Amino acid sequence: MVYTESLAQKICQGLRPQFQTVKVPQLLKDLVKRCLDADPLKRPNAGELNKILGNWFDENTGSIKKDTEFYRQCKEIKDVDNHKLVLSSQLHSSTFRTSRLLDFKNLPEPQNNPSQE
């Protein structure tokens, strides 16, 4: 539980994922940043996410490809690396793989990481 509470405190203090070891389209980075904003009112809702992700999926799969900014960003990454855009993750051995309520007392007020603004 110490690991989880410590991580929660770091997130409240502005810890956010970094995309330094994997190439990711800038539009996706921007969407992730919005989803992780400390202010919940600035985060996209489920309907907006569904629409954005659905459009990106349609733009980049099958025979119907559209000339959009997201498609161009994905194509640029594929061309540079000469392989498919693949996001992978490695899970820590003690990672929880199910949702659960984490009820911590005395967490700091959530804030965004100023270096990522």
- Which pLDDT does position 93 carry in this prediction? 64
Task: Report the pLDDT value the prediction gives residue 91, as an integer from 0 to 100.
Answer: 58
DSSP symbol at 42 = G
In whole angstroms, give the CA distance from residue 73 to residue 26: 7
**Average pLDDT for 44-56:** 93
Residue type, 22: V
Owner of token pair 């940043």: 33
Write down the pTM of the prediction: 0.70
What pLDDT, on a 0 to 100 scale, did the predictor assign at position 87?
Answer: 47
- Residue, of 106 and 100, whose pLDDT is higher: 106
Residues 68-105 pLDDT 10s: 888 888 888 877 665 444 444 555 666 656 767 777 88
Total residue length of the chain: 117
